[in-house]
Amino acid sequence: MNAVIELLQRHRSIRKFKPVPLTSQQIEAIVSSAQMASTSSNVQAYSLIAIRDAATRSRLAELAGNQAYVADCGLFIVFCADLHRLEEAASRHEESFHTNTESLLVATVDAALAAQNAAVAAESLGLGICYIGGIRSEAEKVSSLLKLPKLVYPVFGMCIGTPDQQPSHRPRLPQDGLLHWDAYEEEAMQAGIDRYDRTMHEYYKERTQGKTLTTWSRGIADKYKKPVRAHMKSFLEARGFKLE
């Protein structure tokens, strides 16, 4: 173990923050760290929208499903997949610019890698973070609010700030249920679900003083029994992304 691994393994999502804004030095350090994340072929196909305006923060909190901590945290950043900047760069050399499913994946992965670097940097400064995928539930309204051009879409937001809670760690899947050697091991995966269901049943039972008796697989079944954010395909196509 070392300090970096210990920091990573202490991660918890923070949903209650003290009313303390981030300093310019903290923001610079977090963004600089985000920029040093791996990026496919150095395309850097992402942009960050840091939200300072209180009214905009409140509106984003509402659009994200009335998650108050979007408005209350020290800083809220929207991580966007951005092919618009790449199109502009290519146009300076009078070249045609083609997009497809792969370029959309590259931009989304680039944004996610940058965000995780930002998260680790923030936590190393004693801050807490929480990813907000809920902004995709109203992706068109979020895009309009933030004046995002074509070929840019909001992947998720991130609350960053001084924690005002100490939530417990949520257990993760057992390693031997998700780490496969040389090929996908179906039996190990199935056994991993069984063990994790038992673990999460006890976790929920203790966390809720016996009020919630459920399992991880039950939650997955409930979440995916109908399409999740089925509007995203048409939304992305309307923003110029080609899913081909």
**Could you tell me the CA-to-CA distances from 46 to 27, 51, 154, 178 in Å, in that order?**
17, 16, 10, 29
Q: Are 84 and 199 in a shared domain?
A: no
Q: Are 154 and 62 in a shared domain?
A: yes
Residue 18 structural domain: 3-168+229-238
Q: Are 13 and 123 in a shared domain?
A: yes
Q: Is 223 contained in some domain?
A: no
Q: Are 136 and 40 in a shared domain?
A: yes
Q: Are 77 and 92 in a shared domain?
A: yes
Q: Are 66 and 162 in a shared domain?
A: yes
pLDDT averaged per 10 residues in sequence order, the chain, 244 residues: 95 97 98 98 98 97 98 98 98 94 98 98 98 98 98 98 95 96 97 98 94 96 97 97 94
Tokens of 122: 């923030």
Q: Are 181 and 163 in a shared domain?
A: no
Q: Are 139 and 208 in a shared domain?
A: no
Total domains, the chain: 2
Cα(167)–Cα(183) distance, integer angstroms: 36
pLDDT at 27: 98
Tokens of 73: 């945290």
Q: Are 118 and 67 in a shared domain?
A: yes
Q: Are 99 and 203 in a shared domain?
A: no
> Per the confidence metrics, is the pTM higher than 0.85?
yes
Q: Are 154 and 55 in a shared domain?
A: yes
